[in-house]
Amino acid sequence: MRILLAEDDPLLGDGLRAGLRQSGFQVDWVRDGVAAERELRAEPYAAAVLDLGLPLKDGMAVLASIRREGVKTPVLVLTARDAVPDRIRGLDLGADDYVVKPVDLHELAARLRALVRRAHGQPEERLFALDVALDPASRTVQRGGEPVTLPAREFDLLHALMLNAGRVLSREQLEQHLYSWGREVESNAVEVHVHHLRRKLGNGLIQTVRGVGYIVPRESAAP
């Protein structure tokens, strides 16, 4: 899933980006509050990690501004300010979670997955559709209880579709989910990934809505 990282410290930002990429996230990194606000207005990120001490525009001001404008992207506030009044103010302004530096990368990734899961109304970590089960934390997939090995892009595309079960996603929406800045996208990349997923998971899981996009049916239950 694609997230926005807003952090002005170059060493910390580079470490967070690298660590989150290892956990399967596509990360766009900005270094000031003006850029963070611009990107959150323009792009449909799955979630954002927002430092409060940003230059040009403070993270609190960014948070207040995007919430006034109706931006619903889940936001995890990352800050060195550990005073209770600061945490309360951030949550009241619309933050969805709050982590004080220094932060464990595994915990940060878990909190981001939880934010995204709640934003999509998913009650538990694992996702189910027909006979397929997907675990975002371990990045594993099973069909009929048997493991299925998927490359990263195929896993991410399947994750997007299962997270949005019952909703049609266009090719453009799937590309936005799969690729961060600077990643070249071939014109038929999504179609190729869907073809490979159908070959491995059966033709019934991912349905084509002609002229619109792809959908995984909502009628699903844990095996």
Range(s) within the chain of domains with CATH label 1.10.10.10: 127-215
Range(s) within the chain of domains with CATH label 3.40.50.2300: 2-119
Radius of gyration of the chain (CA): 18
pLDDT above 90 for 122: no
Residue 162 and residue 121: Cα distance in Å, rounded?
12
Mean pLDDT on 51-68: 94
The CATH number that domain 127-215 falls under is 1.10.10.10
Give the confidence band of 219 by pLDDT, cuts at 50, 70, 90. low
CATH for 2-119, options being 3.40.50.2300, 3.20.20.70, 3.90.180.10, 3.40.50.300: 3.40.50.2300
Long-range pairs for 20-25 at CB < 8 Å and ≥24 separation? 20/49, 20/105, 20/108, 20/109, 20/112, 22/105, 23/105, 23/106, 23/109, 24/136, 24/139, 24/152, 24/155, 24/156, 25/1, 25/109, 25/112
Q: If residue 98 lies in a helix (H) or strand (E), which one and from where to where?
A: strand 97-100
Query: What is the pTM assigned to this prediction?
Result: 0.84
Residue 98 and residue 106: Cα distance in Å, rounded?
15
pLDDT number for residue 103? 87
Give the confidence band of 109 by pLDDT, cuts at 50, 70, 90. very high
